[in-house]
Amino acid sequence: MGCGECMKPIILKLARDDLKEIHNRLIEYGNIPPQKFRDTFMTFCNNVTAMPYMYPKYDQNLKYHKAVVEYDYIVFYQVEVIDKKERVKIYRVLHGKRDILPLLESAIEMKI
């Protein structure tokens, strides 16, 4: 699929909330500039829409693919096929030190 046919990823509410929390933490603790994280995340979005299967499945929950974006933050997403086009849905963006599995399961239960 060429990028002319790529569909932007859908960033679900929980993932948007995660991104807001990350932004606030980066401002508060200053370990990396929030703009750098945002730029890296946007690059990830561009790459994953062009090649949605480039990242491995998450071994603890195979419903998701996972990608480390920046400084141990992990994006969890699924790929849907709609009318023969692949669509990426981003469910969560979490720090790798968090208890990830329950947070992913809650994302599926909430279906948002």
Question: Domains of the chain, with CATH numbers?
Answer: 3-110 (3.30.2310.20)
Q: For residue 110, what pLDDT is reported?
A: 57
* pTM, entire model: 0.85
Using pLDDT thresholds of 50, 70 and 90, give the confidence band for residue 90: very high
Q: Determine the average pLDDT of the residues in 9-32.
A: 91
pLDDT at 93 over 80: yes
* 19 backbone dihedrals φ, ψ, rounded to 5°: -65, -40
Q: What are the Cα distances from residue 49, in Å, to 5, 45, 77, 91? A: 9, 6, 11, 15
The SS3 call for residue 32 is coil
- Mean local confidence (pLDDT), 34-50: 91
